[in-house]
Amino acid sequence: MKKNRKAIVFAIVAMALTFSLSLTAFAAPTIDYSTNGAANRYGPGAELILIGKVTDSGIVIPNAEATVTVTAGGAVIHYAKLVTDSDGLFRTRISVPTTATGTLSIEMAAIGKTVTWSQDLRDPGMVEITGYIDCVGYREGETPVTIPSSTSKLGILFESNVNYYNNRLIQGDLGLDSLGYNERNRDCFTLYKQNTDGTFTDIGCNVELVESDAAGGNTLIPMNRITPLPGVDITPGPNNGGQSYKDAIFFTPGEALQPNTVYKLVIDGRLSGNSSATLGADQTFYFQTAATGGGSGNTGGGNTGAAPTPSPTPAPATPSPTPTPATQPNTAATAEPATTEQTAAAETAVATAAANSAANNIQIETVGAPVAVASGSETPAVTTVSGIEAEGATVMAMVNEDGTLTPVPTKINADGTVTVLISGDVLLVPLHVEADFNDVAGHWAQDEINRAASLMIIEGVGGGDFNPTGAVTGAEAVTMLLRAIGLPVDKDAPALGGVDQNAWYAGAVNTAAAHGLTAGALPDQPMTRIQTAELIYSVLDLLGMKPDMTLDLAKAILSGFTDLDGLTDEQLIHMGVLVELGIFKGNGDGTMTPDDVLQRVHIASLAVRLQDIILSAE
């Protein structure tokens, strides 16, 4: 009995000690933090980088949960649930809505410590362009000045740092040289070459940024390399030596400059400085190469592999009541909070995608925190996920290892869950995507086009247009269908014979072929309706969702169409499946016109109907 009493007393003492230790585990917790901006002048539309460091009695705390809540005028505009890295750091990117007013407040909480910081929103001012580097540009209407066609790298000079975020310390010491690259600016440059008919083609360009003062940001560009804009007086920097590299952005054309050619550089108005000031409006500059001399070698970086702006673009359609395809089990999963590194990767990927899409009048915004989801399947599976902040989302996008986004088939359910088609372990981010194309207002398929854009299945053709009646090439059809089923481009996929591996579509065409999806038309050739039907049938087969169909049943289903006599038995079965599922519907007059070239609006509608069928599987 005495032994038991001693054991009980020991247990009570041990519990008391444990409780006492838990109360004093973090005796002096501290959250140091920093944002970008030398003057902390944040206004509507500002882009903030917030980095915090969690310590206790001077010791960094890794793997600690941290939350960041940001409000503007009392309304929550950003929430992030983060985990500190091995250095005790957490990081989040905050985009202030353009409609925000009042006081901007940031609350950070970790290990029982809460820190707040606030200031009134105000106009952050404008970033000004002051000159050219190693080239001479001109604006429309000004006298053209030529440069050698051998020029391989060009630069634009600004009045302030546009390369990286300075460590504007608010509290404590983070031990950082900078807060990282100003990645948004990397996607604010678009370079065009003028064609013989006067139109312009995007040739891509590789933007170079420096990362910090120590990495060369304070290195001086000699004044003899700088040509001021007309009417701009550039004052030499320290010791009259020139201007700092951090105030300039250099870029390399995506292809060698051609002699006697006009080029157009468009800089997106959302380009921002460290202070969050922006350019405000798109700026356009031209430069012209000499007719002869200087050669055309490109030694400044070569082809970046960037895709031309006119990328495959499709559109949507309203869900059609269709028979269920071959059953694919709908599994369940629970989302887990993303790590700090995953969150940072998602924020960068979304920012890049948003910048690229803005020129096409497509707005992309994050509406919830990124999450990690394990589907439990190595093949694409319809999965209903709980634990996602999806209010206001139109689509879930997968964050790929190369920093790109791939939309996945998405259905937002009334009970707060989200149904997606995914495989393996994925990092998903909920997005609200909205398009305002110049040429679809009043179009008979306006709603379908906008829905396809909201699902990230389609893009534009440049200049804010969609071109709904344009013909669809084999490469465009394949690229759009990969998006429709959430299959990311695999840059390591085996090269498909006969395909130009330097073309923008090479990765998509190779990926599709590796999964048994071929367009039936050459990448640059228009697709017909029957070729598209066979491609979509192959997608159903890939997903294991192809319904059984006999030739006799197919003929019965297609008996109402009068122009299908030229199809093979196999094509009749394929078309029969798609008509039965409601993906293909015909022209409404008893014809299908299988050999007609498909328009962009039509194939977009087909892709959305296909996605609806996939997500209807139980």
Q: Are strands 331-334 and 371-374 parallel, antiparallel or unpaired?
A: unpaired
Phi, psi of 99 (to 5 degrees): -95, 0
**Better-scored residue on pLDDT, 165 or 255:** 255
- How many Cβ atoms are within 10 Å of 7's Cβ, its own excluded? 10
Q: Say if 166 falls within a structural domain.
A: yes
Residue 192 has pLDDT above 90, yes or no: yes
Q: Say if 302 falls within a structural domain.
A: no
Do 385 and 484 have their domain in common? yes
pLDDT value for 48:
77
Do 140 and 210 have their domain in common? yes
**Better-scored residue on pLDDT, 167 or 417:** 417
pLDDT in tens, 111-138: 889 999 888 887 766 778 888 887 777 7
Do 461 and 553 have their domain in common? yes
Do 103 and 191 have their domain in common? no
Element (H, E) at 110: strand 103-110
Measured CA to CA, the distance from residue 258 to residue 298 in angstroms comes to 10
Do 158 and 236 have their domain in common? yes
Report the predicted TM-score, pTM, of the whole model to 2 decimal places: 0.50
Partners of residue 227 on adjacent β-strands: 132
Percent of the chain with pLDDT over 70: 84
Residue 317 has pLDDT above 60, yes or no: no
352 contacts 187 by C-beta, under 8 angstroms? yes
Residue 233 has pLDDT above 90, yes or no: no
Partners of residue 208 on adjacent β-strands: 250
Q: Say if 448 falls within a structural domain.
A: yes
Q: Are strands 189-194 and 103-110 parallel, antiparallel or unpaired?
A: unpaired
**Better-scored residue on pLDDT, 4 or 571:** 571
| Tokens at 600, concatenated | 């962009």
- At residue 167 the predicted structure's pLDDT band, cuts being 50, 70 and 90, is low
| Tokens at 388, concatenated | 């996602």
Do 42 and 153 have their domain in common? no
Average pLDDT for the chain? 81
Q: Which domain holds residue 278?
A: 129-289
Residue 300 has pLDDT above 50, yes or no: no
Residue 10 has pLDDT above 60, yes or no: no
Pick from 35, 22, 24, 108: nearest CA to 66: 108
Measured CA to CA, the distance from residue 264 to residue 578 in angstroms comes to 45
DSSP, residue by residue, 579-598: HHHTS----SSS---TTSBP
Percent of the chain with pLDDT over 90: 29
Do 282 and 402 have their domain in common? no
303 contacts 394 by C-beta, under 8 angstroms? no
Q: Which of 58, 90, 120 is the last residue of a domain?
A: 120
pLDDT value for 212:
80
Residue 234 has pLDDT above 90, yes or no: no
Least confident range of 109-118, 260-269, 328-337, 429-438: 328-337
For the chain, the domain total comes to 3
pLDDT value for 367:
92
Residue 2 has pLDDT above 50, yes or no: no
The CATH number given to whatever domain includes residue 66 is: 2.60.40.1930
Q: Average pLDDT of 562-569?
A: 91
pLDDT in tens, 532-564: 999 999 999 888 888 888 999 999 999 999 999
Measured CA to CA, the distance from residue 500 to residue 521 in angstroms comes to 14
Residue 370 has pLDDT above 90, yes or no: yes
Residue 398 has pLDDT above 90, yes or no: yes
Q: Say if 313 falls within a structural domain.
A: no
Provide the strand spans (E) within 393-476: 395-399, 405-408, 410-412, 418-422, 425-435
131 contacts 227 by C-beta, under 8 angstroms? yes
pLDDT in tens, 463-513: 888 998 888 989 999 999 999 999 999 988 888 877 888 888 899 999 988
Pick from 248, 152, 241, 237: nearest CA to 209: 248
- At residue 295 the predicted structure's pLDDT band, cuts being 50, 70 and 90, is very low
Radius of gyration of the CA atoms of the chain, in A: 28
pLDDT value for 320:
33
